[in-house]
Amino acid sequence: MKKLFVLVFVLTAVLVLAACGGSEVVRIGATAVPHSEIMAQIVPILEEAGFEVEIVVFDDFILPNNALAAGDIDINFFQHVPFLNNFNYNHGTELVPVFGVHFEPLRLYAGRLDSLTDIPSGAVIAIPDDPTNEARALLLLESLGLIGIEPGLGLTANAHSGIAYNPFNLDIQTHTAQILPHALPDVDFAIINGNIALEGGVFDRAIEGAGEEVDSPAAQTFTNYVVVRAGEENEPAVRALIDALNTQAIRDFIYQQYLGRIVPTF
């Protein structure tokens, strides 16, 4: 398992503590971009409401749910519901989504090739290896006419047994999502989550017209949610966080900061 990022933001409400004689500490786990950046925008609002906030930054997609289930953090923000459902099923956890914030379109990125014209037989395409994003990447390739998926598989498809039609004899390789930007020099294309492409500095390598549309069903299916332990949906800190997020100010921040690469869904 990967280690927790050394980077841990501790944001304290000194004035609130002085005025109120103490405040509840809320630990929020998030991946770096854009999740921790969005969470940082609502810290002053939570501080004014009497909460001391600590944002813990993770560098993978498993540790934040493990930490939440174990009680090491109180809230996390990094995942869509299909991923969460798959995690709960495989780990016996009871984590629940409470507020949908944004959508990170998957896109095809240029590696050794920079155009879908005249794709050679055997071209190598790297995709995420976690189950829901692997299937999602295959669905994107199908929408581009590059493969055909076995009927009825949908989000259960995988690169090893779910492809019925492969006219270009594509070599589809699965990799940990976070390393995909670094894999671009060694593959012809890669399908990368929007946040990871931003964090990896490769968003300018996106192939025009080869991504999930922001008004597509995927935008709702793969909206990224704030997640808590079952039974804690109405805790004061959770409600305060949702109220702070559900504002025009946060919508404006997402639009202005990420220029359509990441899209608010509330």
116 shares a domain with 50: no
Q: What is the pLDDT along the chain (266 residues), one digit of tens a residue?
A: 333 333 343 333 333 333 344 589 999 999 999 999 999 999 999 999 999 999 999 998 999 999 999 999 999 999 999 999 999 999 999 999 999 999 999 999 999 999 999 999 999 999 999 988 999 999 999 999 999 999 999 888 999 989 999 999 999 999 999 999 999 999 999 999 998 999 899 999 999 999 998 877 788 899 999 999 999 999 999 999 999 999 999 999 999 999 888 999 99
In this prediction the pTM is 0.79
Please give the backbone phi and psi of residue 30, each rounded to the nearest 5 degrees, phi first: -155, 150
Q: How many domains does the chain have?
A: 2
238, 255: one domain: yes
Here the CATH number for the domain that contains residue 173 is 3.40.190.10
Is residue 216 assigned to a domain? no
Residue span of the structural domain in which 137 resides: 107-211
Do 92 and 15 reside in the same domain of the chain? Answer: yes
The C-alpha angle 266, 134, 257, rounded to 5 degrees, equals: 35
Q: Are 37 and 101 in contact (CB under 8 A)?
A: no
Determine the Cα–Cα distance for residues 63 and 180; give it in Å rounded to an integer: 19
Task: Report d(CA 74, CA 46) in Å as an integer.
Answer: 14
Q: Look at residue 218 and tell me if it is in a domain.
A: no
User: Does residue 126 lie within any of the structural domains?
Assistant: yes
**Contact criterion met (CB below 8 Å) for 69 and 91:** yes
